[in-house]
Structure 1
Amino acid sequence: MEDGMVATLKAMAGSLAAEWQVFGFDGLQFWHRDTARLALVALGASAVILLLLRAALGRTPGRHYLAVPALLRLAPPSRLAWTRHLPLLLFVLGLPAAVLALADPYSALVVEDVTYPGRRISLMIDASDSMQTAFRAETLNTRNDVQPAFFTTVAAAERFVQLRRQGKYRDLMALVEFGNRAYVITPFTSDYDNLLLSMALIGDPVEFSMFPDSGTVIASALEESIEIFRAFNYLEASGNLMVIFTDGEDTTSIVHGRSLDDILKSAVDNQIPLFFVRTNYNKSFGEGIPDAKWQAAVERTGGRYYVAKDESSLIAAVEDIDREAVGAISTRQYTNQQPRFPLFALLAAASWIGAAGLKLATPWFGRLP
């Protein structure tokens, strides 16, 4: 329990330190400005009244003054005599922080450059007619043990997202569904729940039956993924990754006048690895599928090629990608109306607790100078 408390305190201290580093008074605004002003006026008025009362009341020797022997004049003054005022100094320093906390401050717009463990991942799922072939998967298939391969790959993609969410990662993920053409279902987001909802929607049997493209053009999905990275200004950043689930039944080499090598050149130049999960039930490498072609293309990007011919190999591929997708990403984070109350409240509390601790627990601060 003590370890948990220490960890919590360390996390709070780290959060406050990070908040203080990006904090600035220039953009500070207040929800309860009038309340703080009234408190400040009341505090000043109380101080003036107390000073006036002290001046008005008479003081008599022996009662309000301390008589000491004249011999003390011969003793040299202590160089540390000023330290007896530290409790008072801490108390006074806590007052402005308390007044600011009472005003309930917030920053209207906070821009932070933050770094998270994770990757920018473009997930691509094949929804062509060839994905209607049966795929047996007792764990991944929720309706029946044998379902069209499309639903199995959607379940595998969902499993991958769940693994990322359960880990320490805060990925930015995009979802692309493709056939003859590629469609961006969800642009880059760190909201795993939103991504899983999108997968649930495209994995609906009615939605799948209405998908407009019947063919398989894998290069169109790769092209669209690279364009997403470019649109978000991520193409030249580190930490990018592409994952594709498809049956691999595609021999198309030219898309929009561009060859597969030309499309993948941007991925190779910017070190964006492609993890290719070929989901085709009971078909080994090269068995009626141009595996060699796709494997060569994948290896040029620095990625991996997986032959998922059954459920165990499909799950193993997903788990291996999760292990390999380590790293960190830097992103600019915008926060609207970021509360700053905890920062000032804790500063005031720390000052006052420190003052009370010095005054009550240390005899030095009760001595005469």
Structure 2
Amino acid sequence: MVFLWPSLLWLLLILPLLVLLYLWLLRRRKVQALAYPGLALVRQALGSRAQWRRHLPPLLFLLGLAALLLAAARPLAVLKLPSEQQTIILAMDVSGSMRATDVEPDRLTAAQNAAKAFIKELPRHVRVGVVAFAGTAQLAQLPTQSHDELLKAIDSFQLQRGTATGNGIMVALATLFPDAGIDIAALGGRQAMRVLPMDQVTRPEPEQKTFTPVAPGSYRSAAIIMLTDGQRTTGVDPMEAAQWAADRGVRVYTVGVGTVQGEVIGFEGWSMRVRLDEDTLKAVALRTNAEYFHAATAQDLRKVYETLSSRISVETKETEVTALMALAGAALMLLAGALSVWWFGRVL
């Protein structure tokens, strides 16, 4: 535990002085009892039970005072608290390779089921958006708190050719930052894509704002979860998209679906081997200060989303606990006074 105002900890020196004062009062009372033998006989009749009762209220009062003095120094503690992230974008792969059956019943169905279970576990105040990407990327559902709308969007996925993982990240970023200069309509392919630097974005304001990158993972209001099973075949370089996310502090959690060795599948007259590009997914997560998860089975995928739900809903951070410390101190002092009045008819 650390303190914002550590200089006030010198006030704790009051405590040993109070202990010495209490011991002096006890000694004084003992001398008085010897001077009046009748008082000594009464105390002996009460027995040891009255002895601990006599000392408990002062002890509670001392502990309460110590808590209040610590609160004055404004303590900080590492606690698990509800996350500040209010928006999550699910970027989900709907390329033809998602029909592979190495994840039962197939990759797409397993991903849909796991994503729906993930949404149901999130707190109601968290908004979720859905991006579907294959050869192109599109916003399937604007960020919303309506779970029914999100489930409908996920159930409406249709398989397409190509895998543009970078486009999925860019559309997710464009949803989170509408003024970032990302032309969603032009994200149909690498050649058609137009992503302007922030200092070149046309704005209605008289003066343009200069974009300043922030630390990766420092943006606490949103996060992106990208689920894919294949290698990028078209569109934006995923590492370029990851750099855009990192510069804005957005974490991109990546989930790899399927087996690393891949599987040969047929789709619209094409035959292809679909392999999981773990190296790129790990690099994307690393660059954005997030994590990579591998899901080789439907059960693995469900566990991944359960883990992500707990990571995103709750975060561990250093928080000031002055109010809690002051509340504990006040409660102890009130308890000390109440016990003293109950047992002895006076306050301490």
- TM-score for the superposition, normalised by structure 1: 0.46
- TM-score for the superposition, normalised by structure 2: 0.49
